[in-house]
């Protein structure tokens, strides 16, 4: 009989909530003998007019994009890969764009059985305009989604 989960996705924005979601994803992967797909989406600020119109140029310098990519990879290595048990299979997925859209693409491409992510999202007017990444992913994902609430210490 096939295990319930063989491919588990974990989404991170490097927040405290994502760190807690990682612990859940890692423990489930160990329990089920699953692999982990670590997912981080770098927001493409050029796609977000309220942000770039005020603060950022529409076109980015290639060095700036490379710096963001390298910083994200370093954070993934330090915060997550380095905390995986030896022998656990993993893959890093680093994309740029709208978080929910890119996450949903990865879920389908990698044929994930489960996606684990933090439950927090945008608040206030940003939530009204763009919606929550977690909300969109939960509604549209082709797999089960486990959202992890931030635990107060």
The CATH number covering residue 63 comes to 3.40.50.620
Q: pLDDT tens digit string along 9-19?
A: 999 999 888 99
- The Cβ of residue 45 has, within 10 Å, a number of other Cβ atoms equal to 17
Q: Can you give the pLDDT of all 153 residues of the chain as single tens digits?
A: 778 999 999 999 998 889 999 999 999 999 999 999 999 998 765 544 444 444 555 555 677 778 888 999 999 999 999 999 999 999 999 999 999 999 999 999 999 999 999 987 545 544 544 458 888 999 999 999 999 988 776
Provide the residue range defining the domain that includes 110: 23-148
Q: Which of 12, 13, 6, 147 is nearest to 89 (CA)?
A: 6
Q: Does any domain span residue 2? A: no
Question: Looking at the 3D structure of the chain, how many domains does it have?
Answer: 1
pTM greater than 0.85: no
% of the chain surpassing 90 pLDDT: 60
Separation in Å, CA 40 to CA 9, 74, 103, 106, 129: 11, 12, 8, 10, 22
Q: Does any domain span residue 39? A: yes
- Amino acid 153: pLDDT: 66
DSSP conformation class of 146: E
């Amino acid at each position: 009989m096939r295990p319930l989960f063989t491919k588990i996705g974990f989404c991170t924005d490097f927040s405290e909530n994502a760190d807690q979601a990682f612990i859940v994803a890692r423990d489930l992967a160990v329990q089920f003998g699953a692999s982990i797909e670590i997912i981080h989406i770098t927001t493409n600020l050029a796609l977000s007019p309220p942000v770039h119109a005020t603060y950022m140029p529409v076109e980015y310098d290639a060095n700036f994009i490379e710096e963001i990519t390298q910083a994200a990879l370093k954070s993934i290595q330090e915060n997550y890969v380095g905390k995986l048990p030896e022998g656990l299979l993993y893959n890093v997925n680093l994309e740029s764009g709208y978080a929910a859209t890119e996450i949903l693409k990865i879920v389908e491409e990698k044929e994930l059985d489960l996606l684990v992510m933090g439950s927090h999202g945008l608040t206030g007017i940003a939530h009204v305009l763009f919606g929550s990444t977690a909300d969109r992913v939960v509604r549209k994902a082709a797999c089960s989604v486990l959202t992890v609430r931030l635990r107060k210490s």
